Amino acid sequence: MKITIARLRSFVKYNGPLETVLDSFFENYVKWTKENPQHEYKTYNVSFDNTRPKRTPETIEWADVIVIPSDSEFRYHGELQMNPKDLAKSESHMELIKPFFKDKSVIMWRSDRGDTEKLYRSFLPDIKNFYTIDEIDFSGNIHGMKYHFIQTLKNPMSDMMGNTKSIDWAYWGRMKHGNDREKTIRKIYRSELSNVMVGGFPSGVERKSAWIKDWKKLYPLLEPARSTLCFNWLDPNATTSRYPEALSIGMIPFVWQDYDVNNSYNIDDWQRVEEFEELKDKIIQLRNENFFANKLDEYRNNYKQVLLSEDEYFKQFSAMMDEAI
């Protein structure tokens, strides 16, 4: 088969883990291509050799199968406000490649609840076959890979000496509307809780930094924090990468209300909070070093019951790609 991996919107220069949001998928894809030399491979707006990615419509036209690492496609369809100039520029690129999707098979790697087959078929109506590989199709979420990746950033000496946790709460990422996210983050920001926030936040909330993709730069900002909070968006059955990321960094991930309603992450009841005051009281309890250390050990062990090894994630990813192909 002729296979093109295509980033339809922002480019990805993949050099290895912890440099892009979808690194768990990309790392497995690199391994999968090496194990499947019978196929031919090209790219669109993606590179794997440290060169700047190029938009090459001819590689979309050439392909039998188009792999789409999907990250926030919904933002381009009126769900959230975008800069009109950025949207117009992106749409001009899309107009060039839309005709080449006719009768093609698409494999979407899904890591956003708003990115769906229905959404893609709404602006690419001539796609023939559509196959989704969802982050939550994997035990512990495919972003359990990030748990393993982040462990490589840890300083062994700091673990031996004991990390000093000096910040109550951290949050990293972009805003999505709904499920009390903005309101809760504002309450945390205005409370007595110390915080560090990296990414995009509601007006009036001061952040430590704009969004940082590179975990080598992000990790030192987050490591001093004791806790974070995981929100659902659109789907109470879904999980997110924030949970395994937090545990790997060394912080307690609280979850908001019906997050992971089926408890696929093996979440303890104490981690689940219904309103801000309950969350604040529990975060304050974590200032006790022994209490915090015991909770972190317990919750890491709980998650490890569903966490796969990197090899196990690859085997499952390979089986899904093979089936789709």
171-213 pLDDT, tens digit each: 998 776 666 888 999 999 999 999 999 998 877 888 898 889 8
Reduce the DSSP state of residue 173 to 3 states and report it: strand
List the CATH number of the domain containing 6: 3.40.50
Same domain, 233 and 119: no
Same domain, 270 and 316: no
Cα distance from N-terminal residue to C-terminal residue, the chain: 8
Could you tell me the residue range of the domain that residue 117 belongs to? 2-138+310-324
Q: Which phi and psi angles does 41 have, rounded to 5°?
A: -130, 135
List the CATH number of the domain containing 167: 3.40.50.2000
The predicted pLDDT at position 84 comes to 86
Q: Based on the structure, what is the number of domains in the chain?
A: 2
Residue 123 contacts residue 90 (beta carbons within 8 Å): no
Which residues does the chain have with pLDDT short of 50? Answer: none
Same domain, 296 and 198: yes
Same domain, 109 and 183: no
- pLDDT tens-digit profile of 121-168? 999 999 999 999 999 999 999 999 999 999 999 876 555 555 689 999
| Beta-sheet strands, E only, within 7-151 | 12-13, 40-44, 46-47, 65-70, 105-110, 129-134
Beta bridge partners of 167: 225
